[in-house]
Structure 1
Amino acid sequence: MKIAVIGTGYVGLVTGTCFSNSGNDVTCIDIDEKKIAGLKQGEIPIYEPGLKEMVLRNAEEGRLKFTTDTPAGVREAEIVYLAVGTPQGDDGSADLSAMWAVVKAIAPHLREDAIVVTKSTVPVGTNATIYGMLQELTGRDCDVASNPEFLKEGAAIDDFMKPDRVVVGVRRPEVSDKLEQLYSPFLRTEKPFLSMSPESAEMTKYVANALLATKISFINEMANLCEKMGGDINDVRRGIGHDSRIGFAFLFPGVGYGGSCFPKDVRALNAMTVSKGLEPTMLRAVDEINERQKSVMANKLDAHFGGDLSGKRIAIWGLAFKPETDDIREAPALVLVDWLLEKGAAVVAHDPEAIPNVRAELGDKIEYSERRMATLDGADALCILTDWKAYHQPDFAEMYQLLKEPVVLDGRNLYDPARMAARGYCYHSIGRVSVDGRNGKK
């Protein structure tokens, strides 16, 4: 099939690349001339495992093209995907100005039988609005479908190629059949293709993300209580996770969720709920708990150092909001960094991928190191904020020698408290009793 994808951000680039990989002729369109020029040269604007190799291969074989020419890009397309940004507005709702601009731009150039598909996360009713806009702009009925994405940053290629399910919202069964044909290479293991109304499809995306965010906020609130009660949240997590009704997914305590989806989508669903005269009690709590959780490391540092961090040197491992991405949007690490700088502390940080993005935002306010162990030299404490595999098995003896004080605050519960105490560390984690094995040494 001939496909156009408008927007070469995270969702658009992954979508276009994966469709081209299954044999379709895909044109990715963006108004950012610098980004398109870079993509034509094989420069990928985001870090996502496996994406660069797939882009290069499909571009070389002629199935994947990049352009800033919207009319030329959509003119022959059977399916036009809209994957533009829908950032959070001041009131928490989604800002759809970019979406409306794209609809107006493509309307004069669409084939009569083209299917326009929203891939961006958009409020319920957006599909109907686009349908009305195209009807007015073209003078005919246009097929508009919704096809929400369920991609995890760091595993997006695998999620797209091996989806749990594909959800589409359509008005005509013929459109559903066309989209099912498009997705057929990815559904060969009997994964469901779920066709429903556009409104239900739009709602599905928000409800899925809000529920996953709820699980994270819930386990974090229970972790904080568990710590006060002298329990171990990891034991509790195992105790509940083996219940088949509950499971383990997204029940890992930490320093809060971030990224481009969960915070924005929870707030957008909250705004939609309020707009319909309903009270979003649980949604508000999920967001409030998460924002508080981003301060849990600051609270532990404050308590450990008696409220005085002036002149302290704090090492940070992990700046991205999660591993296998360079995304720092709503990252808990940046909340801690801002707090440390306000307290007069010096910060030195390591992250395998996110340093360029943090440097672009913070400049030289903090120090950066390409080597994780180098951050520890002379540091008063180490804070772990991102669950990168590179942090799981460090040389603890070398860490002990490098740190000015063997103090580790682990926001991802990577290490065993008893073993850390036996190694001579003062160790704080999430939802577990802190231990101190220093015995007056160092």
Structure 2
Amino acid sequence: MRIAMIGTGYVGLVSGACFSEFGTEVVCVDRDANKIERLNDGQIPIFEPGLEDLVARNESAGRLSFTTDMKAAVQGCDAVFIAVGTPSRRGDGHADLTYVYDAAREIAAAADPETVVVTKSTVPVGTGREVEQILQETAPDKRLQVASNPEFLREGSAIGDFMRPDRVIIGAETQRAQTVLRALYRPLYLIETPIIFTSLETSELTKYAANAFLATKITFINEIADLCEAVGADVHDVARGMGLDGRIGRKFLHAGPGYGGSCFPKDTLALTRTAQQAGSPTRIVETVVDVNDRRKSAMADKIIAHMGGDVAGKTVALLGVTFKPNTDDMRESPSLAVVPALQQAGARVRAHDPEGMQAAQELLSDVTWCQEPYEAMQGADALVILTEWNQFRNLNLSRIKETLNAPTVVDLRNIYDPTEMWEQGFHYTCIGRAFGRDKPGALIGDGTTREDLG
């Protein structure tokens, strides 16, 4: 089979490379000539574990290629995937579908008469019908088919998610579209992956509903974490007790500074706008969006409070600026709220991130960027862990104490054990674990109290 992937962003590049690994001939198309030139030179524009090797292997085998020539790319294809960006539209929060519709027009003009046109971009309900209309108006003499095939890729583990997915959702209402997509995903049938065929609208809504539910789980456990701090409970144990219930599940019950990234923020917002427009508002999701936005700002307040309520003239060492580990993606990262708030309060920020510093430099100003964690800590008055990269999970505690001006640590990802940190003499706080020894006046190992640690 031969397919074209329109767009070489995160979804298009990963999906195109993975389809080529299945043995499919894939042509990836992008208007950005510089980007295509870099890809043809083996330079991958995003950080995703395993992607560079996957692209190189399939390029070498002749199954994967990159071009700016839409017309040449789509001719002779069984299917053409639209994988362009759908950012939040300025002003109203709706998904901006400009790139999707532009791509549909170009595809219609150049594609073979019975090509299947598949939206892989995350798009609101009804987009498939709009694409169908555009194809008919642009190329009335052709019998172009429309399908929806949303992606469910997690940044940092996207290749595994594509190769071994929980399920594949395909909105396809014609025999031709179903046949082509069933053949394309045949390798997944061999490992008995559930492949669900639905209507266009159902497929589109399934993607938004899934992301909104996961965002809700994150926001829920974050609010429970706040309650844990207030009443002296441990959110880790609460989450474990909840997650062992098969109806709930363990995933996405990790308290932290709020969700970010390319999907959850814009998808939850777009879903609320679509629901309002349809006269069926999603009040729970609206609240999730509001709570998550406020939480990011509250993290700066938490840091300042733990540093004595005043950070003017003080230096904060910040580990991790990307929204999650194993990616260089800065979109909607909590750091974009936390760093400016600390600076506005008078703090100086020294930061390190294994992959995100180049992207972060364009978004965060007046930050001292450091090449490794201990360099960021040098002379700092507090250490803040904002992203749970594996490199930060087993830092040398003695070296941290020697490097910092004061043994103050704010762990916003709960990657260290509170008891061990307190026993090591750290003035330590985390998320949702205000229990036992974390209570004012409580004993810490040797009989001292948290107040004794300053």
CA distance in 1 between partners of 2:135 and 2:7 (Å) = 19
Secondary structure of the residue that 1:65 maps to in structure 2?
Answer: strand
Amino acid at match of 1:188: L
CA distance in 2 between partners of 1:333 and 1:342 (Å) = 14
Deviation (angstroms), 1:279: 2.7
Partner of 2:122: 121
CA distance in 2 between partners of 1:5 and 1:279 (Å) = 34
Partner of 2:240: 238
Secondary structure of the residue that 2:3 maps to in structure 1?
Answer: strand
Partner of 2:72: 72
Partner of 1:102: 103
> 5 Å matches for 1:326-341?
326-341=328-343
CA distance in 2 between partners of 1:71 and 1:272 (Å) = 33
CA distance in 2 between partners of 1:88 and 1:326 (Å) = 20
Deviation (angstroms), 1:306: 4.0
> 5 Å matches for 1:134-145?
134-139=135-140, 140-145=142-147
Per-residue CA deviations over 1:407-437 (Å, capped at 9, x if unaligned) read 1100100111111000000111000114786
Amino acid at match of 2:152: F
CA distance in 1 between partners of 2:423 and 2:165 (Å) = 44
CA distance in 2 between partners of 1:23 and 1:246 (Å) = 37
Amino acid at match of 1:18: C
Amino acid at match of 2:372: R
Question: Segments of 4+ in structure 1 off by > 6 A?
Answer: 435-439
Secondary structure of the residue that 2:362 maps to in structure 1?
Answer: helix
> 5 Å matches for 1:284-295?
284-295=286-297
Partner of 1:222: 224
Per-residue CA deviations over 1:157-213 (Å, capped at 9, x if unaligned) read 000011111110011133212211111112322111100101100000000000000
Amino acid at match of 1:194: I
Secondary structure of the residue that 1:46 maps to in structure 2?
Answer: coil
Deviation (angstroms), 1:115: 0.5
Per-residue CA deviations over 1:307-347 (Å, capped at 9, x if unaligned) read 32111100001111001000010000121101011112110
CA distance in 2 between partners of 1:163 and 1:236 (Å) = 29
Which stretch shows the higher mean deviation, 370-379 or 299-308?
A: 299-308
Partner of 2:371: 370
Per-residue CA deviations over 1:59-98 (Å, capped at 9, x if unaligned) read 1111111000111111121110000000001211100111
Are positions 1:254 and 2:261 aligned together?
no
CA distance in 1 between partners of 2:263 and 2:453 (Å) = 45
CA distance in 2 between partners of 1:239 and 1:23 (Å) = 44
Which stretch shows the higher mean deviation, 406-415 or 305-314?
A: 305-314
Aligned 8 A contact 2:306 2:429 in 1: no
Amino acid at match of 2:27: T
CA distance in 2 between partners of 1:301 and 1:250 (Å) = 24
Which stretch shows the higher mean deviation, 431-440 or 390-399?
A: 431-440
Aligned 8 A contact 1:297 1:409 in 2: no
Deviation (angstroms), 1:299: 1.6
Deviation (angstroms), 1:438: 6.6
So what's the TM-score if we normalise by structure 2? 0.95
Partner of 2:192: 190
Q: Taking structure 1 as reference, are residues 24 and 5 closer, same or farther at Cα in structure 2, changes over 3 Å only?
A: same
Are positions 1:18 and 2:45 aligned together?
no
Partner of 2:49: 49
CA distance in 1 between partners of 2:316 and 2:159 (Å) = 35
Aligned 8 A contact 1:231 1:431 in 2: yes
Amino acid at match of 1:272: T
Aligned 8 A contact 1:309 1:345 in 2: yes
Amino acid at match of 1:169: G
Amino acid at match of 1:429: C
Partner of 1:199: 201
Are positions 1:8 and 2:8 aligned together?
yes
Partner of 2:429: 428
Amino acid at match of 2:377: L
Partner of 2:32: 32
Aligned 8 A contact 1:12 1:83 in 2: yes
Deviation (angstroms), 1:439: 6.6
Per-residue CA deviations over 1:82-127 (Å, capped at 9, x if unaligned) read 0000000121110011111111112111101210000000011111
Amino acid at match of 2:421: M
Gaps of 5+ in 1: none
Q: Taking structure 1 as reference, are residues 254 and 175 closer, same or farther at Cα in structure 2, changes over 3 Å only?
A: same
Q: Over aligned residues, Cα RMSD in angstroms? A: 1.4
So what's the TM-score if we normalise by structure 1? 0.97
Secondary structure of the residue that 2:197 maps to in structure 1?
Answer: strand
Secondary structure of the residue that 1:300 maps to in structure 2?
Answer: helix
Aligned 8 A contact 1:147 1:201 in 2: yes
Per-residue CA deviations over 1:380-416 (Å, capped at 9, x if unaligned) read 1111111111111110000011110101100100111
Amino acid at match of 1:54: L
CA distance in 2 between partners of 1:23 and 1:279 (Å) = 44
Deviation (angstroms), 1:360: 2.2
Deviation (angstroms), 1:441: 6.1
CA distance in 1 between partners of 2:247 and 2:66 (Å) = 46
Are positions 1:180 and 2:182 aligned together?
yes
Aligned 8 A contact 1:162 1:187 in 2: no
Secondary structure of the residue that 2:118 maps to in structure 1?
Answer: strand
Gaps of 5+ in 2: none
Per-residue CA deviations over 1:335-383 (Å, capped at 9, x if unaligned) read 11010111121100011100000112235x1001111111111111111
CA distance in 2 between partners of 1:255 and 1:292 (Å) = 10
